[in-house]
Amino acid sequence: MPVVTDEADGSQDALLVRVAAGGHVGWGECEAAPLPSIAAFICPMSHGVCRPVADSVLGQTLESPEDIARIASAVAYNSMDLLQAPHTFSGVEMALWDILGKMRSEPVWRLLGYDKSHPKTPYASVLFGDTPQETLERARDARSRSFRAAKFGWGPIGRGSVAADAEHFVAAREGLGQDGILLVDTGQIFIEDVERAAARLPAMEKANVLWFEEPFHASALEAYGALAGRSAKVRLAGGEGAHNESMAKQLIDYGGIGYVQIDCGRIGGIGPSKAVADYAVAKGVTFVNHTFTSHLALSASLQPYAGFGDHEICEYPAMPKPLAIAIAANHLERDAQGQVAAPEAPGLGIAVAPAALRPYLQQVEISVGGRRLYETPRL
């Protein structure tokens, strides 16, 4: 965006990945800071397992899902000491699935083994207002746009008193209506402080909140586990901070979460997300996508659990910045029942709009030792 603020809104910038193979072009989107992610793709090798992501991707054969898994394994091993690699490869991996689907004239969800894309109930993902009145108005706005569910996140929650936070929960419930699905996301504000987080539970219970998302740091498994048993009504949700399958599985096994939220743009792409979805089913945990940016990312995030008829909730970007809207030429619109589903079209089913993106394009050059390693490609 022309101006980037410090609000917790990940739609203010974007890193798109364009991959060409076999006469097809695929697109993906990384949910990460663009510059270090670009650097991870092209940086000089430091040693044998600190290689640029490009070394494991460019020139590889792509003919099947197994090839994507093979490339992913190569990245994981060859770049294990390059900590940005999972974020960088996430966008690449999405694009590989997009290409493979176009090559086979099949949607990605069918390549994952599903025979149907089940509709999901989208929740409007919005931020808490600075005041309860602003929160009330945002909840009313979501309901006026026919969202049956809404998630309110970040903002002032956890920064003031328990009573002040309770006012926001009440306002969100009032604006959404008693029959709406209300979700709360506190953006890791309580770090590992179980008692401070638990102090908000009575007000959440009173407001009939379905889940309490990310009370703690993504790896604070002990804190998650301690809080999980403190309410019979409000379940914990988390997982968007997982950068690999193991992190997500540990949050399920030791953190006691009831909802695991996976971002394809962080965990390594669609393949690892599908593995976590299958694991969640086996453990009786509900899988949910995490998406706050474009409809390209939204489509990718729906693919891993498109075939689950009983995992019905999905995150839906409700207040994206103009940049995020411009990325996709076509959007995943809600149907007459207010639901949304992974597209039937080949690949990810989303056409990227290069012309609409040109005003946002940032010119980047990376040089090392007088040798240019990267410059922004033309759109």
Whether the pLDDT of residue 7 is over 90: the answer is no
Examine the domain organization and report whether 88 and 231 are in the same domain.
Answer: no
Q: Are 19 and 68 in contact (CB under 8 A)?
A: no
Examine the domain organization and report whether 164 and 280 are in the same domain.
Answer: yes
CATH number at residue 58: 3.30.390.10
pLDDT (average), residues 34-62: 97
Q: How far apart are CA 266 and CA 363, in angstroms?
A: 24
Examine the domain organization and report whether 100 and 140 are in the same domain.
Answer: no
Q: How far apart are CA 256 and CA 236, in angstroms?
A: 7
User: Residue 379: which pLDDT band, with cuts at 50, 70 and 90?
Assistant: confident
Q: How far apart are CA 102 and CA 120, in angstroms?
A: 24
pLDDT tens per residue across span 268-300 = 999 999 999 999 999 999 999 999 899 999 999
Asked whether residue 349 is assigned to any structural domain, the reply reads no
Taking alpha carbons only, the member of 213, 239, 242 closest to residue 228 is 213
pLDDT of residue 294: 95
Asked whether residue 341 is assigned to any structural domain, the reply reads no
Q: Are 263 and 291 in contact (CB under 8 A)?
A: yes
pLDDT tens per residue across span 143-157 = 999 999 999 998 999
Examine the domain organization and report whether 367 and 239 are in the same domain.
Answer: no
Whether the pLDDT of residue 10 is over 90: the answer is no
Examine the domain organization and report whether 185 and 292 are in the same domain.
Answer: yes
Asked whether residue 347 is assigned to any structural domain, the reply reads no
**Which pair of structure tokens corresponds to residue 324?**
């995020």
pLDDT tens per residue across span 307-321 = 999 999 999 988 899
Give Cβ neighbours of residue 195 (< 8 Å, ≥ 6 apart): none
Examine the domain organization and report whether 89 and 137 are in the same domain.
Answer: no
pLDDT (average), residues 52-69: 98
pLDDT tens per residue across span 325-338 = 999 999 999 999 99
Residues present in the chain in total: 379
pLDDT of residue 357: 95
pLDDT tens per residue across span 170-187 = 999 999 999 999 999 999
Give Cβ neighbours of residue 224 (< 8 Å, ≥ 6 apart): 215, 216, 236, 238, 251, 254, 255, 256, 257
pLDDT of residue 238: 97
**What's the whole-model pTM score?**
0.95
Asked whether residue 3 is assigned to any structural domain, the reply reads no
Q: How far apart are CA 251 and CA 238, in angstroms?
A: 8
Give Cβ neighbours of residue 83 (< 8 Å, ≥ 6 apart): none
User: Residue 8: which pLDDT band, with cuts at 50, 70 and 90?
Assistant: confident
Examine the domain organization and report whether 131 and 216 are in the same domain.
Answer: yes
Give Cβ neighbours of residue 120 (< 8 Å, ≥ 6 apart): 302, 311, 312, 313, 314, 339, 340, 341
Examine the domain organization and report whether 77 and 179 are in the same domain.
Answer: no
Percentage of residues in the chain having pLDDT higher than 70? 100
CATH number at residue 317: 3.20.20.120
Asked whether residue 337 is assigned to any structural domain, the reply reads no
Asked whether residue 336 is assigned to any structural domain, the reply reads no
User: Residue 141: which pLDDT band, with cuts at 50, 70 and 90?
Assistant: very high
pLDDT tens per residue across span 187-233 = 999 999 999 999 999 999 999 999 999 999 999 999 999 999 999 99
Examine the domain organization and report whether 148 and 262 are in the same domain.
Answer: yes
Examine the domain organization and report whether 212 and 287 are in the same domain.
Answer: yes
**Domain range holding 19?**
15-106+354-375
Asked whether residue 282 is assigned to any structural domain, the reply reads yes
Examine the domain organization and report whether 128 and 81 are in the same domain.
Answer: no
Distances (CA, A) of 319 to 9, 29, 34, 352: 9, 18, 21, 19
Whether the pLDDT of residue 126 is over 90: the answer is no
Please provide the DSSP assignment of 19-50 as one string. EEETTEEEEEEE-S-HHHHHHHHHPPP-STT-
Q: Give the total number of structural domains in the chain.
A: 2
pLDDT of residue 269: 98
Asked whether residue 192 is assigned to any structural domain, the reply reads yes
Examine the domain organization and report whether 184 and 88 are in the same domain.
Answer: no
